[in-house]
């Protein structure tokens, strides 16, 4: 089957962004006729219109307050989390509603999603010019460590830009796909990504059909910009040696120095030495000098060494050593620096994969993924992630998630549930998908009943529910009552049950309601817990008399009243505090009962209660 529509791949980067797709002759970055594939992720506004890319980047130093860059660092983050980063950014960012931030550009303010959307719009325009047709769908890459909020923000940016984000995939995974490493079926891949402003190392494990991210590490403030800065500083030093009176700290001089430094650095990726000229007619400066690769290496070595420290930490976190790594993939413009290549090769003990342009490799991987999703061919099973959490309804209409969003398939999860009513012989399972805390706000996927459980007191049956999602994204839910070995099963197809529009809407809503939901959810959970505690105490009361003193029993009674009062209120924190006090008072009772093994449901309750406290 040939692709009927084009789903482009987009690398939405901190410094640069671009798109790629698969042509007859193979995958390629999308260049508009006569233009370049790469759009610097920098934007500004003039007379109510956005200027995105190269032109905006040019004025970064001269108009620092109106030029926005590194928006990616703000995506899905609230003002509090961003405090440290914001201090370093020249543009103004302020807290907005629901923990969002807004960036000031002139008189106006925009969310990071809107700003990223403008970058995406520009990339989309480039892609459309290159393809000669409209583009509506894309796969967008994100760093492996991006959490759900950051992924959601990326998805929202796509929507604002008029793109249906068909899939979000991890950048290191995209790079590995670009090199065809997904066809190897097995192995460990290290993806070393050194860009303009960030460094990431990811250790991926390929098992059969999917890449699992075993560990990531990095430095969000390290990259080629640092190389430029130390080179510029060296040039300043040299100028000062000859012209001690010359101060080169104004925006224009800084911009010139950085620009010359970057060009010089790029030259030295191809040659052993080079020359540069600093011309500042306003200051009467016309300075010529040479620069060689040894000087460069000496200046940047500390930065390159610090990336190796991240590599060591990532390997340690993955429980692997360099000898376990089968392939090393280089990503990011700064991996063109020969010293970087040499040090990485020495560290991993093998030459890295470098045949694909390191600026384009992530977009190319995303383009291949988009091509596959559009029905294009490549003879292996698709990588996939679960777009929204999967789970079942539990008491009080709460949504109990078994598998969280963005889990890579195939995957499996199980959890134990029990009955709430004595002699209950059947249990209904309502399966839902969504990101909210209550099932009424989630999408129902199906329901089934586990029948034939022998009559037992509430809390005694142990029903193990298993969610299994296969490589095609098909969910099978099964339940088994462990004491009676009754079993029931249902197959559900979640990813086909939701359109991307629905996912986007749900994602947006979930963001809006997250706080309210959480409170409500906790309240219901704690009320249920309180009921179970009361049941347990009632059942154990007889024994309690022989274990606890009259005074202690009276204290428990008084505290039970306090808990009851709090269950009538609306404050989950207050309720939890009262519950904790009761837990303390009944602890000797629980310990005694635990050792007797008589009232198993109470035992289970306490075990659960304690687990819940972690």
Decide whether 218 or 333 has the Cβ nearer to ligand AMP. 333
User: Would you say how long the chain is, in residues?
Assistant: 614
Token code pair at residue 287: 């300075």
> Candidates 263-271, 409-417, 484-492, 561-569 — which segment interacts with ligand AMP by CB under 6 A?
263-271
Give the shortest CB-14-to-ligand AMP separation in angstroms.
Answer: 6
Q: Can you name the residues that pair with 490 across neighbouring β-strands?
A: 477
Decide whether 209 or 269 has the Cβ nearer to ligand AMP. 269
> Active site includes 193?
yes
> Candidates 20-28, 334-342, 429-437, 443-451 — which segment interacts with ligand AMP by CB under 6 A?
334-342
Decide whether 172 or 195 has the Cβ nearer to ligand AMP. 195
* x/- map, 351-380, ligand AMP, by CB under 6 A: --------x---------------------
- Residues 116 and 118: their CA atoms lie apart, in Å, by 5
Q: Which of residues 184-213 bind ligand AMP (CB under 6 A)?
A: 195-196
The answer to whether residue 218 forms part of the interface with ligand AMP (CB under 6 A) is no
> Candidates 112-120, 146-154, 327-335, 458-466 — which segment interacts with ligand AMP by CB under 6 A?
327-335
Angle at 265 between CA 261 and CA 266, to 5 degrees: 120
The answer to whether residue 410 forms part of the interface with ligand AMP (CB under 6 A) is no
Report which of 522, 527, 494 is spatially closest to residue 438, judged by C-alpha positions.
522
- Residues 566 and 534: their CA atoms lie apart, in Å, by 14
> Active site includes 305?
no
- Residues 586 and 543: their CA atoms lie apart, in Å, by 12
* x/- map, 140-179, ligand AMP, by CB under 6 A: ----------------------------------------
Neighbour count for residue 70 (Cβ, 10 Å): 20
Decide whether 224 or 494 has the Cβ nearer to ligand AMP. 224
- Residues 103 and 84: their CA atoms lie apart, in Å, by 16
The answer to whether residue 265 forms part of the interface with ligand AMP (CB under 6 A) is yes
Report which of 182, 176, 222 is spatially closest to residue 202, judged by C-alpha positions.
176
> Candidates 8-16, 122-130, 168-176, 552-560 — which segment interacts with ligand AMP by CB under 6 A?
8-16
Report which of 74, 8, 79 is spatially closest to residue 37, judged by C-alpha positions.
8
Neighbour count for residue 596 (Cβ, 10 Å): 11
Query: Do the bridges between strand 16-23 and strand 39-40 make them parallel or antiparallel, or are there none, so unpaired?
Result: antiparallel
Among 72, 236, 336, 603, binds ligand AMP (CB under 6 A): 336
Residue of 72, 124, 265, 539 with catalytic role: 72
Among 7, 10, 16, 418, binds ligand AMP (CB under 6 A): 16
The answer to whether residue 536 forms part of the interface with ligand AMP (CB under 6 A) is no
Neighbour count for residue 568 (Cβ, 10 Å): 8
Count of positions on this chain that bind ligand AMP (CB under 6 A): 18
Give the shortest CB-394-to-ligand AMP separation in angstroms.
Answer: 45
Is residue 366 within 8 Å of 174, Cβ to Cβ? Answer: yes
- Residues 480 and 368: their CA atoms lie apart, in Å, by 41
- Residues 303 and 205: their CA atoms lie apart, in Å, by 27
Decide whether 27 or 572 has the Cβ nearer to ligand AMP. 27
The answer to whether residue 583 forms part of the interface with ligand AMP (CB under 6 A) is no
Question: Measured between alpha carbons, how far is residue 211 from residues 174, 371, 603 in Å?
Answer: 10, 18, 41
> Active site includes 171?
yes
From the centroid of its chain, how far is CA 489? 32
Give the shortest CB-43-to-ligand AMP separation in angstroms.
Answer: 16
The answer to whether residue 337 forms part of the interface with ligand AMP (CB under 6 A) is yes
> Active site includes 578?
no
Q: How far apart are the first and last CA of the chain?
A: 51
> Candidates 173-181, 218-226, 464-472, 556-564 — which segment interacts with ligand AMP by CB under 6 A?
218-226
3-class secondary structure, 552? helix
Angle at 392 between CA 564 and CA 466, to 5 degrees: 120
Q: Which of residues 243-262 bind ligand AMP (CB under 6 A)?
A: 262
Query: Do the bridges between strand 7-12 and strand 137-142 make them parallel or antiparallel, or are there none, so unpaired?
Result: parallel
Give the shortest CB-110-to-ligand AMP separation in angstroms.
Answer: 23
Is residue 579 within 8 Å of 559, Cβ to Cβ? Answer: no
Residue of 118, 128, 171, 504 with catalytic role: 171
Decide whether 265 or 401 has the Cβ nearer to ligand AMP. 265
Q: Which residue has the tokens 């390159």?
A: 304
The answer to whether residue 225 forms part of the interface with ligand AMP (CB under 6 A) is yes
The answer to whether residue 334 forms part of the interface with ligand AMP (CB under 6 A) is yes
3-class secondary structure, 24? coil
* x/- map, 100-139, ligand AMP, by CB under 6 A: ----------------------------------------
Give contact residues for ligand AMP (rule: CB under 6 A). 13, 15-16, 195-196, 223-225, 262, 265-266, 269, 332-334, 336-337, 359
Catalytic positions: 11, 72, 171, 193
């Amino acid at each position: 089957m040939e692709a009927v529509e084009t789903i482009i791949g987009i690398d939405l980067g901190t410094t640069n962004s671009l798109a790629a797709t698969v042509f007859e002759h193979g995958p390629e970055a999308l260049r508009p006729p006569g233009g370049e594939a790469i759009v610097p992720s920098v934007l500004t506004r003039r007379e109510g219109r956005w200027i995105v890319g190269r032109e905006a980047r040019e004025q970064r130093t001269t108009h620092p307050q109106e030029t926005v860059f590194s928006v990616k660092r703000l995506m899905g983050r609230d003002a509090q989390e961003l405090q440290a980063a914001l201090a370093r950014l020249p543009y103004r960012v302020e807290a907005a509603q629901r923990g969002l931030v807004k960036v000031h550009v002139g008189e106006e303010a925009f969310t990071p999603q809107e700003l990223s959307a403008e970058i995406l719009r520009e990339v989309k325009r480039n892609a459309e010019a290159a393809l000669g047709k409209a583009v509506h769908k894309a796969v967008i890459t994100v760093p492996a460590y991006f959490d759900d909020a950051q992924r959601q923000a990326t998805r929202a940016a796509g929507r604002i830009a008029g793109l249906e984000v068909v899939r979000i995939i991890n950048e290191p995974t995209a790079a590995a796909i670009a090199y065809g490493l997904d066809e190897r079926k097995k192995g460990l891949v290290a993806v070393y990504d050194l860009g303009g402003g960030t460094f990431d190392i990811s250790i991926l494990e390929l098992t059969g059909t999917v890449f699992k991210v075993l560990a990531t590490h990095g430095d969000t403030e390290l990259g080629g910009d640092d190389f430029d800065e130390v080179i510029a500083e060296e040039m300043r030093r040299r100028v000062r040696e000859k012209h001690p009176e010359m101060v080169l700290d104004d925006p224009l001089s800084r911009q010139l120095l950085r620009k010359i430094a970057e060009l010089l650095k790029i030259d030295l990726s191809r040659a052993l030495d080079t020359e540069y000229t600093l011309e500042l007619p306003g200051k009467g400066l016309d300075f010529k000098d040479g620069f060689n690769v040894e000087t460069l290496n000496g200046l940047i070595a500390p930065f390159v060494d610090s990336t190796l420290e991240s590599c060591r930490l990532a390997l340690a976190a993955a429980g692997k050593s360099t000898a376990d790594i089968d392939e090393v993939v280089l990503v990011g413009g700064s991996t063109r620096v020969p010293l970087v290549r040499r040090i990485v090769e020495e560290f991993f003990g093998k030459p890295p994969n470098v045949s694909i342009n390191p600026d384009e490799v992530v977009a190319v991987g995303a383009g291949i993924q988009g091509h596959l999703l559009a029905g294009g061919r490549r003879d292996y099973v698709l990588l996939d992630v679960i777009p929204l959490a999967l789970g079942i309804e539990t008491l009080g209409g709460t949504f109990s998630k078994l598998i969280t969003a963005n889990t890579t398939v195939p995957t499996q999860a199980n959890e134990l549930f029990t009955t709430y009513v004595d002699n209950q012989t059947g249990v209904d399972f309502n399966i839902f998908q969504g990101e909210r805390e209550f099932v009424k706000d989630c999408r129902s996927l199906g329901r089934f009943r586990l029948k034939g459980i022998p009559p037992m007191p509430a809390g005694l049956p142990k029903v193990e529910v298993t969610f299994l999602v296969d490589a095609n994204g098909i969910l099978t839910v099964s339940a088994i009552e462990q004491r009676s070995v009754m079993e029931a099963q249902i197959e559900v197809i979640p990813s086909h049950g939701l359109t991307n529009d629905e996912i986007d809407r749900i994602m947006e809503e979930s963001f809006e309601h997250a706080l309210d939901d959480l409170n409500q959810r906790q309240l219901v959970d704690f009320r249920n817990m309180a009921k179970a505690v009361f049941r347990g105490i009632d059942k154990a009361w007889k024994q309690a008399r022989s274990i606890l003193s009259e005074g202690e029993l009276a204290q428990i009674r008084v505290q039970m009243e306090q808990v009851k009062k709090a269950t009538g209120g609306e404050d989950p924190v207050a309720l939890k505090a009262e519950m904790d006090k009761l837990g303390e008072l009944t602890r000797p009772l629980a310990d005694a009962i635990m050792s007797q093994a008589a009232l198993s449901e109470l035992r289970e309750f306490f075990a659960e209660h304690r687990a819940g406290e972690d």
